[in-house]
Every structure is written in structure tokens, then in C-alpha cells.
Structure 1
């Protein structure tokens, strides 16, 4: 059964998956209690299909036990939280089963590979919430302190009326045509390519920063390298290498979104630019401790983007870390994510981003695919009802 809100006994955590995201999440679980006041928990069990590999990972990452069948974990009374870091094609089955078993669920983004799966996961999350079981989707960039500050500045009206947003997430790990096939390049396992993998982050940031919803979508997808070396020789790539979208929001803001895994020279660059009639902000993940802010209400002779080093105790999350000026890294976003999830469970509040938020991103991704398939068609979206939620972000 799940941990009841207010119960101070240790929460047992099981994590499913131990590769890239499993390593990042493990680092967060291992360190969060050293820096934040969170309810007691235990890294109980790490789950993976390869018994030898998962045992090696568990020893490195601080997990007490291992298992090769995730189903066996869901029946254990000493497991209260299930952290799902498995590939997207496994999300729906595992998340729904975990929620039905009464486990709180932290699920890596995107919510699922298909809109139908995302809807099913969200419905399961809503049903579980009525029983006090919480769920959250892992858009970790909401926990970058500089982006938390950007959201505060926008909400305070420092940019005035926002008119347009530019969001681009650019990587180059597939720029080389000889880069090998992986599960991320096959639609059956990945769902989509750059679109679901990294454009989902950019789209979520647009929604997060502006607290708005998308009403119209037009998009284009491109696969530049259609065959790559794999176990069977040259194999077909069945997902996109790059994606482009234009989003119209309910407020009238227009956002351009670009994502690429073949942008030579860009290693992991999430760029966000927000332009209002009184100011603007710029951010690049490759300089994640910095936010650029322009105050357009200042005299023209004084205007210009200024650099804010986001490392002060007054900035989101940073009072737990180092003296001002001592920067933090990418891995800290997951620590902040786990901190917020634990506090929400302990307080009986709904964590953010919710599965409903993840579903909204999935609806937009689906509309981009539909628009791309129709070649320049605009897809109309009806904003979904947005339930009120109490969050614990950035305190």
C-alpha cells in the first residue's frame, strides 16, 4: 500500500531502469536528503532486465536490492514510490500498474509514446489521486533555478505583455551519419525522435514559463539520415532527426519551437527567449546558472541585456547549496525534482508537473506530427480543463 500523508515512517523507493536516466535519478535519490529537509526514505530496489548489469548498477548507485521483474516489486508492502526511468514504450503498462497497486509514481518524460497511452496514464493518475496516491512527470528543466527565476520575472510583469517566444533544443549526437542505431531511432520503441525526446522539454518550458495553453499548432519533421549501422547491417531510421513547430497560445502569444539531434556543434543547448513589450529574457542550458534580462523601461542609453548569475540564496532552490557565486550543475535539477516530489507526498499535495501537464505536451506533440504529415496544415487544439493544484516548487 502507499504511504499515507503525514506518516513519518520511511518511504520505500523502487526504480525501474538504470541507464542514462536511471543514473541521473539515482544520483538525486542518493543526495537529496543531504541538502534538503525531506521525509525519510530508503533506496530499496533497482529493477532491470539484465541481472548482472542491474546488480553492478545498484552497487554503484546506492540501491539495497535488485530485481529483474518490475511486476514483483509492485506487490511489496515496503515499496511506496516507483520511479520509472524505462524507455517510453514501457511507460503506460508500468505506470498504470504501479498506480493501481497504490504506489506514488514519478515518470520520466515524455509521458508516453502515443496520445492514447498518455490519456490512459493520466486517467489512472486521476483515479489514484482520489485515494491519496500522487504522480508526477519528470520535466526536470522546470527545476533549473535560472528558469524558476525567469518564471517569477514573467509572473511579476517585468516583461510586460509577452508577445513571442523562441524555444530551441539542439544536440549533435546524430550529426555523424555513421552514428549507430539505438532504440531511440525506432518508432516502435521511441515513439518519435527529436520531437518527443527534446522538443517535449522545449514545449513544456513554453507552457511552464507563461502558464498558458496552446490552441493552434503547425509543424514539420525531417529525417536527414534514413539508414544507420546496426546489428543487422544498415537499418532504417523510423523517427525524425529534427522538428519545427509554430504554436499559438490562448493569450495570443506565438512561440516557435525547434529541436534537432543533428545540429553540429550543439551538445545540449536548450535556448529560451521570451519577448514582452517591457522587457525580455534569454537562457541557454549550456550556461544554466545564467539568465539574461533586459528592462525595456529603462532609458534607451542604459538598455541592454544584463547577466544575472543565478546563485543567490534568494533564487529558487539555491539556499540549500553553496555560497553565492558557486554554481551548480545539470544533475541538480533531478535532486530538486525528487525533493519536490517527496514534499508533495509528505504533505498530501499534488506535485507539479502533473500527468495532466504531461498529457498537454503529448497533445501538442501529436498535433505537430499530424501537421507534418498533412504538410503545412494547422491543427486546432481545444484547451483542456486545468484542475487547481497545490505545488511545492522552488521554495
Structure 2
């Protein structure tokens, strides 16, 4: 275990913590895998995978048996009222986050919720308020920006904090996928604003925005954004349906400490499967990272003589690296799924210690402010300021709408 991670020992008294997970699809599977494995590799408080919740009784029962849950249920409200449930892990679609999280916090349950925190800024504000009140009673909450737990990115943050880059000047982040490139890809809840909140913006740009703020230790204050929907209609159960979220998003960000950042996100970037590229440029050096090579970090030390400078590859799986000591011998790489295991580890340790976990609901709210500012800027062709505090303020630069549908209709 890296010396940068606090030691977490099992609870010495009391019954195991009871865990309920809500949602069993993509994220539910990823989280279930983490719950099933975390105790095998990390010293964490004792817990039990008590119940998996979903709307389809047959499907959720099958998933519960497959993913290691003791039982299944279809009514999340009855589950969070149970005395044997201490932790609620929310992997449901965004439109359900606020209702479930607030109810669980009010019931005294520790809550982990997938990113983005909510579908709207208003919902996120209510959730952050509920989390603050619950924290006064010792109830913990965390939002699941799992890429904070990539060892290479955790190392990047350490290097930046140690001053190895000097003054950070600007950051570039691009999260590109192609799973919507095919116009025949059918409609899903992720393509409807009422269920997803936004498209590539909330789904994957939120990760990039969180990383920019987390790595630099600075907060976004100013946003200029653009949104595009390239495929305006997709096949649904009853015929063609309108896509009501963005396919791609771009933003220029200003941060509290003078850092400038650019963000790009697309789910129609043909050939890009899951590429989150981050570049951080400072006065004394630079860092580069790509999620498709998540065990590697590129580092340039600009304090060396010019003839010796150049990006060098750090393979981030030595025991001295964050989280790496728990896994395999050096040189044996880990994968995307391990980030969720690290996330569960840190959440359980926070519950044991009583220290507030990170990222908090307040952190999630700040990202939500940036998402809302990007939408506002795109809609009004404006610069949005006051992002770190709210309410958002507009500086008008054009009367042309930026949230354009520019692509395929059938």
C-alpha cells in the first residue's frame, strides 16, 4: 500500500455492515464486482452484500445470485427502511439519484451514488444539503468519480501537489467514445433528457471536469461551452424517437488559481472506445495520461538540461504507487474494474474512521454547476461566470443558439 493512503483496519466490534445496491445493469455489475472482491485484497470493515434492488423481479433475482448478493428486491424504499441495511450504493439511472439518496440519508444510511450526482443542478443542491445534515449525525456520503482511484492519476495528483510541475498553467482533457457512432444504435434511457439529464456532457465530460479540479486543486469559475447532437433520431420500440441530449460537448474553463482548461467529450468519436486523455502543463514539467493505457503515466521534468528532456513512461504498479501494493507483483498490470474496488475500499475506510470521504456530495455539486454552466453557455452563446458559488451569471457574446442538432434525420 502506498504511504499516501491511510491505513484501514477491520472494525473490532459490532456486526458486519449491511450493504444494499440499487441497480444491476452496467454500473450495478461493476459495483457488485468491487463489493465481492474488496475484502480479499484490502483490510476493510466487515460487511455483507445483503440485497440487490431492481425493477424486474426475475432479472434482479438472477443478477443477485450471479453477483454475490444474498437476496433481491424490487422496492428500494422498503429496503432502505430495513435495520440490517447500513450502506446504500446507488447505481440506478440519474433521474432516480436524488429521491433515493435523500431518502437513504434521512434514514441514516451511508450513501455512495454514481456520477454525475444528479440530473439537474436543483436536485444536486438538495442532495448536498441532505448530505451535510446527515454528516452531522455521522452518516457518510460519496459520489462515484472512480477515476480518482486510477493509480496513475492518483500518482499524478501526488506529483502535482509535491510541486514537480511547478505552477500548473493549463490542462487538456478529452473523453472520447464511439458507441453511438452507428445511426442504427437504438434509443435508451441515456439518450432521453428526462432520464439521463444530458448526454456525453454528464455521462463522460463529468469525469474530465472532476479530474481537472481534483488534479489541480482548483475550482472552475468560468465556462464557455458548446453542445452538438449529430444523430437527432434513433429507433425505439415504437419507431423513430427524438434524441433529446447531446452527442458531444466542448468547454473552455477558467479556474480559481489561474489555470485554463479545455474539455472535449464525445460518444460518436469513431474508433475511440474509452479514451480519457489528460495533459497537464506546468512551469517545471508536464504529465500525460490515457485511460486506454491506465497503468502508464507520462512525465516530463523540465528542470533537466534540454538535451535530456523528454516524456518518460512510468509504469504505475510498483508497491510504492497508490493502491498497487494490494494487488499483484510489479509489472503485472491492473484494469478498469479495479478503480471501483479502490473506491469501495476508501468509502468503507471513511465509514470506519468517521472522516468525510472524497469526492463528497459538495464535490459532486460543484461538477454539476459546471455541467449546468456548459448547457447555459451553449444555449445562450455566452460566457458563464460564478460557477464556483452560484447563481450562474451570463456574459452574452452572441444571440445564436449553441445547442444545435446538426446531424442525421431519417
Q: Is the TM value for this pair above 0.5? A: yes
What is the alpha-carbon distance in structure 2 between the residues aligned to residue 354 and residue 149 of structure 1?
A: 20
Structure 2 CA distance for partners of 1:6 and 1:138, relative to 1, 3 Å:
farther
1:212 to 218, 242, 257: 218
Q: Residue 275 of structure 2 contacts residue 290 of structure 2 at CA under 8 Å; is this kept in 1?
A: yes
Partner of 1:323: 329
Q: Are the structure 2 counterparts of residues 7 and 255 from structure 1 closer, same or farther at C-alpha, using a change threshold of 3 Å?
A: farther
1:88 aligns with 2:94: yes
Q: Distance in 1 between matches of 2:238 and 2:54?
A: 25
Are 1:136 and 2:147 counterparts? no
Q: What corresponds to 2:376 in structure 1?
A: 370
Q: Hey, what does 2:161 align to over in structure 1?
A: 155
Computed over aligned residues only, the root mean square deviation of the Cα atoms, in angstroms, reads: 1.1
Instruction: Render the CA deviation track for 1:1-48: whole Å, top value 9, x for unaligned.
Output: xxxx97542000000000000000000000000000000000000000
1:381 maps to which of 372, 386, 397: 386
The equivalences for 1:213-292 within 5 A come to: 213-292=219-298
User: 1:360: which partner in 2?
Assistant: 366
SS in 2 for 1:224: strand
Deviations 1:43-72 (A, max 9, x none): 000000100000100011000011000011
2:21 maps to which residue?
15
Report the secondary structure of 1:251's partner residue: coil
CA distance in 1, matches of 2:197, 2:12: 39
Unaligned 5+ segments in structure 2 are 1-10, 391-410
Which of 178, 181, 196 is the equivalent residue of 2:187?
181
Contact persistence 2:51–2:73 (CA under 8 A): yes
Q: What's the TM-score once normalised by structure 2's chain length?
A: 0.92
**Which residue of 29, 40, 43 maps to 1:37?**
43
Question: 2: distance between equivalents of 1:62 and 1:176?
Answer: 35
1:310 matches 2:295: no
Q: Report the equivalent of 1:391.
A: none
Q: Deviations over 1:59-99 (max 9, x none)?
A: 11000011000011111111000000000000000000000
Task: Structure 1 unaligned segments of length 5 or more: list them.
Answer: 386-395
**In 1, Cα distance between equivalents of 2:49 and 2:176:** 34
Distance in 2, Cα, partners of 1:7 & 1:112: 35
> 2:107 matched to 1:104?
no
C-alpha contact 1:294 1:305 (8 A) present in aligned 2: yes
Q: Distance in 2 between matches of 1:277 and 1:349?
A: 34
Residue in 1 that maps onto 2:202: 196
SS in 1 for 2:209: helix
- TM-score (normalizing by structure 1): 0.95
- How far does the alpha carbon of each residue in 1:179-236 deviate from its partner, in whole angstroms, 9 at most, with x for none? 1111100000000000000000000000110111111100000000000111121110
2:129 corresponds in structure 1 to: 123
> Which of 70, 90, 101 does residue 76 from structure 2 map onto?
70
Mapping for residues 340-351 of structure 1, pairs under 5 Å:
340-351=346-357
Alpha-carbon offset, residue 294 of structure 1 = 0.3
Aligned length: 380
Q: Distance in 2 between matches of 1:256 and 1:6?
A: 47
**Distance in 2 between the 1:171 and 1:58 partners?**
29
Answer whether contact 1:270 1:284 (CA < 8 A) is retained: yes
1:223 partner SS: strand
Map 1:1-12 → 2, pairs under 5 A: 7-12=13-18
CA distance in 2, matches of 1:315, 1:7: 31
